Homo-oligomer: A and B are copies of this chain.
Amino acid sequence: MDKSSINVGLLGWGTVGTGVSKILLSQSGLISQNAGVELRLKKIAKRTLPALRDGVDFPDDCLTTDPSEVVDNPEIDIVVELIGGVTDSRDFIGRAIQNGKHVVTANKALLAEHGGELFRLADENRVSLNFEASTAGGIPIIKTLRESFAANRIQSLYGIINGTCNYILSQMHEGGVDFKVVLKEAQAKGYAEADPTLDIEGHDAAQKLLLLTALAYGMNAPSEHIHVEGITKITQQDIQYARELGYVIKLLAIGKLNSAKSVEIRVHPTLLPMQSLLANVGGAFNAVCVIGDAVGPTLFYGQGAGEMPTASAVVADIIDAGKSIVGDRDSRVSRAWRTDAKPEVSLCLIDDIETRYYIRSVVQDKPGVLAQISSILGEHRISIASVIQKERYETDETASLVIVTHMASEKNMQFAMKEIDALDVVKGASQLIRIEEEVAF
């Protein structure tokens, strides 16, 4: 279809809706570039008009209290449902699809209950119904199962897909505190709802798991036959004994093709080997392990909730819908590589970076060596974070001197290293290894 721009309408403007509108407005250039077409935020329907717009700048006529101005508006191409619940949202999505609009939703409860019906409807009307944000927030696990692992028989999947439970269990592991105490604290910090039942009893994880297993196994399992157990009965004693046995307790959502060639679908607290990656997913983070017959074991990790991570997934779905409207399957691949495209950024040469450094020098073991080296570093404005000096090697009276620096410029560091390596007291070339602290999650 030949369209110069595509209009997007939002149903609901809560936390995620606000994030979606922020991204659509502030990143419009990036989004047009990736979608191959301009995506315009045309209408936002909200039950009551907001007093404050939270710094999001859209035209006044964008806001409405009437959902039909989104759902039935012939100008709108893509409807984004973010009102939650299963009654109104089902009606609105159904109407939007019948009106020929592509739909994006984050509504796991709706899809777990009425997915079959809505996808059939989307199929009949030749529109897409995208739902990446329904499960694991910004982690692209839906697309991975649908597309990237499309050549695999999925042998099993294991998800930490409820941030509230993972936060509570992580705090119980770290703080030595009991469930009820941590729950209160989580509620105070906004990690748990005032009524936390849906999370802590495992139902939220079960709804998400049903979406994952539908994709992985092509089966729409009835939710009432799924075993769902929450974390309310986990005690500090269990946490301690588990640790003693080499395990960590996590709320795990499990889908597994077993030896009888039937699929186990269950949510319950689970003991995981302490050294496994999944056991080390802490705080409110989410992670999903997928084991495919071809791809082998994989793990996907990220923020499973929150305004911007969830909005990231919603906008990716909007972009996908936009592409399917303009038929831009092919050209987007090459956009990144087009030499005629003007990149907004330039390459930073290695001399111009700043980072922290580990230096190891072999030095003569005599007084004043550290003073000489540290004064060279000081002259090049490199400050020392820590030093290890090891006992001398008796054979040649040398010792290892290890220095860790604070942030320093590479250029300065290279000059300093030349001077250091030229010192009489330094034997051979020193070792210089860069440090990255930003990946400490």
Contact = CB atoms under 8 A, between A and B. Distances in A.
Interface of A: 19, 23, 27, 30-31, 33-35, 115-116, 119-120, 122-123, 126-130, 132, 138-140, 143-144, 146-153, 156, 158, 214-215, 217-222, 225, 227, 233-235, 237-238, 241-242, 244-245, 247, 249, 252, 254, 257-258, 260-266, 268-273, 275-278, 280-281, 289, 291-303, 306, 308-309, 311-313, 315-316, 319-320, 323-324, 327, 329-339, 341, 343-350, 352-354, 358, 360, 386, 388, 400, 402, 404, 431, 433-441
A145 B243 CA distance: 37
A338 B433 contact: no
Contacts of A119: 333-334, 336-338
A337 B115 CA distance: 7
Nearest to A337: B119
Shortest Cβ-Cβ A-B pairs, 9 listed: A119-B334, A140-B148, A151-B315, A227-B350, A138-B295, A298-B302, A262-B348, A294-B312, A219-B343
Contact of A270 (B35, B306, B323, B436): B436
Given A122-B334, A260-B352, A218 B151 contact: no
Nearest to A141: B148
6 contacts: A146-B333, A150-B316, A218-B341, A241-B402, A245-B386, A258-B354
A401 to B, nearest CB: 10
Nearest to A263: B345
Give how many copies assemble into the complex.
2
Contacts of A296: 138, 302-303, 306, 308-309
Contacts of A335: 218
A59 to B, nearest CB: 21
A99 to B, nearest CB: 15
A23 to B, nearest CB: 5
Given A143-B143, A347-B263, A330 B128 contact: yes
Given A138-B296, A277-B280, 16 more contacts: A23-B151, A30-B150, A120-B339, A123-B333, A128-B333, A140-B143, A143-B144, A217-B345, A225-B349, A247-B358, A252-B436, A258-B353, A268-B433, A271-B433, A298-B303, A329-B329
A343 B218 CA distance: 6
Interface SS of A by simple majority = mixed
A172 B35 CA distance: 45
Considering residues A234, A311, A350, which has the most beta carbons from chain B within 10 angstroms of its beta carbon? A350
B301 A298 contact: yes
A164 to B, nearest CB: 17
A433 B343 contact: no
B273 A439 contact: yes
Contacts of A437: 273
Contacts of A115: 337
A151 B27 contact: yes
A360 B247 CA distance: 14
Given A146-B333, A218-B343, A358-B271, A316 B151 contact: yes
A30 B153 contact: yes
A123 B331 contact: yes
Considering residues A323, A329, A346, A400, which has the most beta carbons from chain B within 10 angstroms of its beta carbon? A329
Given A151-B27, A264-B348, A299-B302, A294 B308 contact: yes
A166 to B, nearest CB: 14
A319 B151 contact: yes
A207 to B, nearest CB: 14
Contacts of A280: 277, 280
A386 B386 CA distance: 44
A311 to B, nearest CB: 6
